[in-house]
Amino acid sequence: MDAIYAYLNKKSAYGVFLMYAGRVFFSAVVFLTVLNIFTPILFSIDENCMYHAGLSRYLLLIVQIVLLLLSSLNSFVHMYKRNYASVKRYRTLAFFGLIMAIFLTIQLWFPYLPLYTIAYMVGTCLLHTFVVNDEKEEYKYKLEKAFEREKLHFKELKSAQALAHQDALTGVKNKLAYIEAEEKKDLEIKEGNAGEFAIAVFDINELKMINDKFGHEKGDKIIIHASETICNHFKHSPVFRIGGDEFLVLLEKTDYQNRNELKNSFKELIKNSDSADKVIISIGMSDYISGKDSCLNDVFVRADQLMSRNKSTMKSK
């Protein structure tokens, strides 16, 4: 018990005292037990096999009773200075000390009864039930808290990662996100499982002129409007802003199947848009050709060339 109490209150002077007192007491018991083999100072057995307790045995029991009572008294005192979890432990230790002291006191008058062993069994059960199990519950609680902190940290990391891949002005994916998507798609092409996809490249016409004439605030509004137009039209594909006035869409699955209809309807949408907030956006689209294209950039180059042609055609009209 003294060792456990010292563990609970190891920084206190009393805890240190109990720790060393327990060691001295244990050493004395071992020394006197060994010495008793040669000189019966603890107990003796007569010729009739009768047990006779010696004075040293009574002194050791009394010293142990005193230490247990002091431990119990101090545990009761500390109960009112600790948090709830510690109060339960100190209370358990206090009752453990009282039980041990009571049983050992009775043992003084009835040396033949196994009261010492019974007291330790009862005390150990108390410690296991209220201290050891409490330690397990506290450890479990700390693990759950740590797990919650890790979940929150992971969520924050994912949020930070999402922000790192998001264009601040338009909210679509940025150039970094496109680079990572390109690396992934290049690996799929290399492994032969890229599947069917197409790339559409978009460019806002006359954005530099708008910035120079009306200012960058007006230019930003044009970029945002263009981004919304592209996102609303290509609803099932990721949209990337890869430059100041340049966007890219990676068409897969249903959007790939409907790519020509989407391209033509987008051109019609730009052509027939309201003149009050009209934004001219050029588009170029190219399919991935399996066996010919060795990387995503091969598809991008063709789509970019087609976009440039579309842009020239729109300017000439």
Q: Using alpha carbons, list the distances in angstroms from residue 39 to 27, 44, 267, 296.
A: 17, 9, 112, 95
Q: What is the pLDDT of residue 131?
A: 64
User: Does the CA dihedral 164-165-169-175 come out positive or negative?
Assistant: positive
Q: What is the pLDDT of residue 207?
A: 87
Q: Residue-wise pLDDT tens for the chain (317 aa)?
A: 555 555 555 556 766 777 777 778 888 888 888 888 888 888 788 788 777 778 888 888 888 888 888 878 777 777 766 555 567 777 777 788 888 888 888 888 887 777 778 877 877 777 666 666 666 666 676 777 777 878 777 777 676 676 788 998 999 999 999 999 999 999 999 999 999 999 999 999 988 888 888 888 899 999 999 999 999 999 999 999 999 899 999 999 899 999 999 999 999 998 887 655 578 899 999 999 999 999 999 999 999 999 999 998 887 66
Question: Both tokens of residue 13?
Answer: 């002077």
C-alpha closest to that of 252 among 236, 232, 228, 229? 236
Q: What is the pLDDT of residue 150?
A: 80
Q: What is the pLDDT of residue 14?
A: 66
Q: Using alpha carbons, list the distances in angstroms from residue 212 to 222, 229, 278.
A: 13, 23, 18
Q: What is the pLDDT of residue 289?
A: 95
Q: What is the pLDDT of residue 134?
A: 64
Q: Which domains does the chain have, with CATH numbers?
A: 2-147 (no CATH), 175-316 (3.30.70.270)
Contact status, residue 242 vs residue 248, Cβ threshold 8 Å: yes
**Distance of alpha carbon 8 from alpha carbon 111, whole angstroms:** 33
